[in-house]
Amino acid sequence: MTEYAVNSHDRLYIGGDWVTPAGQDRIEVISPVTEEVIATVPAGTRADVDRAIAAARTAMVSNPWASMTLEDRIAVLERLRDLLVKHSEELAQVITEEMGCPISQSRAIQVVNPVRILDGYIEAATRYPFRSIRRSEHGQALVLRNPVGVVAGVVPWNVPLSLTMQKLAPALLTGCTIVLKPSPETPLDAYVVARLLEEAGCPPGVVNIVPADREVSEYLIGHPGIAKVTFTGSSAAGRRIAELCGKDLRRVTLELGGKSAAVVLPDADLDLTVEALRLGSFRNNGQICTLKTRLVVPANLQDEFIDRLNGMIDTMTIGDPRDKETQIGPLVSERQRTQVEGYIKAGLAEGGRLVRGGGRPDVDRGWFVEPTVFADVDQDATIAQREIFGPVVSVIPYADEQEAIEIANNSTYGLNGAVFTTDIDRGLEVARRMETGTVELNGSSAGFQAPMGGVKYSGLGREFGPEGIDPFVELKSIGISSAIAESLA
């Protein structure tokens, strides 16, 4: 049993108040372990979205948020950061209950990374050129970076708190206000965040939270009161959002799906490699868009690599995610398990060699899938091309380095990747040639100051660092005299 209660909620957080929703419909939160309803929250309506956007607009225009100093806005986020730390165990348990992440990973990742994200954005904001002077032969300008307006932040279910902070931090630091739309699968942690925002002294209307279904979410995204949309989720949903935003030339940042390749070079330390893949390929039960699910290995090392990979997976306990020993828990929903099992069937039908897994573990209830490894996978096979979003990896053999790079780049995605080698110069060159937004060398993280985002179907724009602040500001140039430029410099 958990120490913290998982509660139902009857109201929405809009304009700094807990308000009665306009409709009567409810969103059911179903435990991926017990398959039972554990809580319900209101399903937001169009009227609720209108009210939230109006509150956000008022907070920008009539209230002091946008005109506050950067230092004052940072102070609010620093108080929120400290409250996230204080309530980390509550948040970890809520996330584990609502989406099934093993509690050990919720404690180490789901509630730690949001704090790191806040810290990273605050650090980046202190160095960001919100105001600068530009001089040229033909004139001088005061260049301002002003808040773009009201932001719609659409958050997925797999790492909900991290992605909430990923959208909230740059919006608030630039002086924008925001309407957050949590996923119907995982709305409960957003209610904790709302409570902590109140305690942190966030002014009314700066952050508004409205859980909603797809139809109302599209209404939010296309609303004329929204200046910018920031979305994380599937590539299919991202294309739809881009279409909606394109009609009104609305700014949009999209961090979408991935089918990331880990290129194992012949000189790689295989023990280090497979240990890095413990979390690099299987964390959060395989439900992370940056996971390395295409393992590209030298053909003559494939059997040895698989033996070591199998040995590592043997140490990963499958079971109740509330147990601290569990490393592989259930998938978020029955629908997600059905989709993953469909991909496993496709892998078998298309000739992949099933090394392990492929079924359901011996548990009484829950939406579990065994960690699954396919070998001798053709690089064009369905399981090598489609994002599965479950604990399933494909081992793809290669003959030489050029073929390895071609396999890595043979994807409609380009979000993340990895290179494993003891030759650092060679590894950096292979990383440079990979068509992806981020590459991790020997398991090293890029951190929260480096720009993160994808190419191809993996998205538009970047998050983190100054590049993650850019999409939330509007540039304005004011022509000024040389004397004024000198006085402002």
Return the CATH number at 113. 3.40.605.10
Active site residue ranges: 255, 289
Regarding whether 356 and 458 lie in a shared domain, the answer is no
Range of the domain at 45: 12-256+454-476
Burial class (CB in 10 A: 0-12, 13-18, 19+), 416: buried
Regarding whether 221 and 142 lie in a shared domain, the answer is yes
Question: How many Å apart are CA 454 and CA 260, to the nearest integer?
Answer: 11
Instruction: State residue 3's pLDDT score.
Output: 65
Residue 371 tokens read as 């960690």
Regarding whether 251 and 279 lie in a shared domain, the answer is no
Is residue 481 situated within a structural domain? no
Regarding whether 320 and 304 lie in a shared domain, the answer is yes
Q: How many domains does the chain have?
A: 2
* Beta strands 12-14; 17-19: pairing state: antiparallel
Is residue 264 situated within a structural domain? yes
User: What is the residue-wise DSSP string for 48-113?
Assistant: HHHHHHHHHHHHHHTSSTTTS-HHHHHHHHHHHHHHHHHTHHHHHHHHHHHH---HHHIIIIITTH
Query: Which pTM was predicted?
Result: 0.96
Regarding whether 283 and 134 lie in a shared domain, the answer is no
- What's the maximum distance between 2 C-alpha atoms anywhere in the chain? 77
Question: Which 3 state secondary structure label does DSSP give 297?
Answer: strand
Regarding whether 347 and 408 lie in a shared domain, the answer is yes
Is residue 155 situated within a structural domain? yes
Give strand ranges (E) for 265-334: 292-298
Regarding whether 43 and 187 lie in a shared domain, the answer is yes
The answer to whether the beta carbons of residues 153 and 167 sit under 8 Å apart is yes
Residue 137 tokens read as 């032969």
Is residue 6 situated within a structural domain? no
Regarding whether 370 and 308 lie in a shared domain, the answer is yes
Regarding whether 238 and 187 lie in a shared domain, the answer is yes
Residue 320 tokens read as 């109740």
Question: How many Å apart are CA 405 and CA 393, to the nearest integer?
Answer: 18
List, run by run, the mean pLDDT of 10-residue segments along the chain (489 residues).
78 98 98 97 98 97 85 98 98 98 97 98 98 95 97 98 98 98 98 98 97 97 98 96 96 97 98 97 97 98 98 97 97 98 98 97 95 98 98 98 98 98 98 98 97 97 98 97 93
Regarding whether 382 and 250 lie in a shared domain, the answer is no
| CATH of residue 411 | 3.40.309.10
